[in-house]
Amino acid sequence: MPKIVDHDVRREEIAQALWRVVRRDGVRAASVRTVAAEAGWSPGAVRYYFPDQEGLLSFAMDLVARRVGDRISAVEVEGSAMTIALRYLEEALPLDAERQAEFDVWLAFMAQAQAESGAGGLHGHVDAVHDGLRQLCESLLQSLSEAGGLREGLDLRREAELLHALIDGLALHSAIQPGRTTPARIRQLLRHHLETLLA
Amino acid sequence: MPKIVDHDVRREEIAQALWRVVRRDGVRAASVRTVAAEAGWSPGAVRYYFPDQEGLLSFAMDLVARRVGDRISAVEVEGSAMTIALRYLEEALPLDAERQAEFDVWLAFMAQAQAESGAGGLHGHVDAVHDGLRQLCESLLQSLSEAGGLREGLDLRREAELLHALIDGLALHSAIQPGRTTPARIRQLLRHHLETLLA
């Protein structure tokens, strides 16, 4: 009988090995060879799924996007529009070890995408994650507005851009100085910012 | 007669070569060997000043800090406290090609410092730049407050943290999507944010 390979399971195994390499040694250490070694596979077996490093790195970036997206889809929360908005935004912020690792990966990809000249390659993946978070900010502010919670005359597009920049800035600061920009402090600052928008 | 070497001039030559390598090939491409080749020197001559890559990278980070610091010291501006505050903050934001390159370097160092486990090394330099920008935010808000321009009851420490996160978030967004987060848009968003703090 031929051996039956579940390709989804194998891709998931590669994903896990890749995640471990990136967290431990940084994103540039992730190659077909190092990920194969980590997974206990031959390089050829990994190459069957990801022919080159760029394919592998894009896959890792997609992994981060999928994790964040899955968590946001799974949010179940009741309460004021403010409570709900904060709860969603928290899923995109590095408030625990797992989410800090995701942000580190995102940052490493971003820096690597910046270092590559021209568009394409990793840029498309960075753009997609970036656009997704901005849209989340827009739709949360829209919900707050429809719930009648926001001040009159706010330019929601502008406020979404500011909120998005603030979130990424806080995430960056928590990566730089985790002892100062703690999860508790991020929550306080974010709540204070949203409160300035309230009616 | 012995050859007289001006060490400051030679360090500046290394700085310039290092800057070109980092901008062109990314921060991880900067080594004693590649910088020596770029400067047209022998590796040994570079090593006389910077024995290893870490020394070289720290020097590059200091270069960025020095450039920003020099520009901030040189700011001469008259006008309202708001005009003055915006003018200072602009020097720390990637609003032209030169400042975008500085931010790219800072980002690359930051990502590399994150990838290194433990403290020390590049972390100290990242911290110093980070603290410098937060202190700038604090002192600008303090000046606005003393000029009587700010709303009563603001927590200036909290507002400085928010302003600092906003500035770094906007800088990050302009690196990710320069066509969307343009210099003009950054100025608008920053001005709007500061206006929400006014009396």
Q: Is A161's pLDDT higher than 90?
A: yes
Closest CA to A134 of B187, B180, B195: B180
Identify the closest residue of chain B to A129 by CA–CA distance. Answer: B176
Find the CB nearest B169 among A25, A166, A181. Answer: A166
Q: Is A91's pLDDT higher than 80?
A: yes
List the domains of chain B with CATH numbers. 1-51 (1.10.10), 64-195 (1.10.357.10)
Q: Is A1's pLDDT higher than 60?
A: no
Q: Which amino acid is at B61?
A: M
Q: Please give the pLDDT value at position B118.
A: 55
Q: Is B112's pLDDT higher than 70?
A: yes
Find the CB nearest B165 among A26, A127, A169. Answer: A169
Residues of chain A positioned with their CB less than 8 A from the CB of B126:
176
Q: Is B17's pLDDT higher than 70?
A: yes
pLDDT (tens digit per residue) in A177-190: 989 999 999 999 99
Distance (Å, whole) CA A4 – CA A134? 42
Q: Is B29's pLDDT higher than 70?
A: yes
pLDDT (tens digit per residue) in A123-144: 788 888 899 899 999 999 998 8
Q: Of A66-75, B52-61, B148-157, B160-169, where does mean pLDDT reach its minimum?
A: B52-61
Which residue has tokens 């935004």?
A89
Q: Is A115's pLDDT higher than 70?
A: no
Higher pLDDT among residues B82 and B171, named by residue: B171
Q: In sequence order, which ranges of chain A are alpha helices (DSSP H)?
A: 7-25, 32-39, 43-49, 53-74, 81-91, 97-115, 122-146, 156-176, 183-195
Q: Of A76-85, A171-180, B165-174, where does mean pLDDT reach its minimum?
A: A76-85
Distance (Å, whole) CA B2 – CA B156? 58
Identify the closest residue of chain A to B157 by CA–CA distance. Answer: A189
Interchain pair A168, B169: CB under 8 A: yes
Residues of chain B positioned with their CB less than 8 A from the CB of A104:
114-115
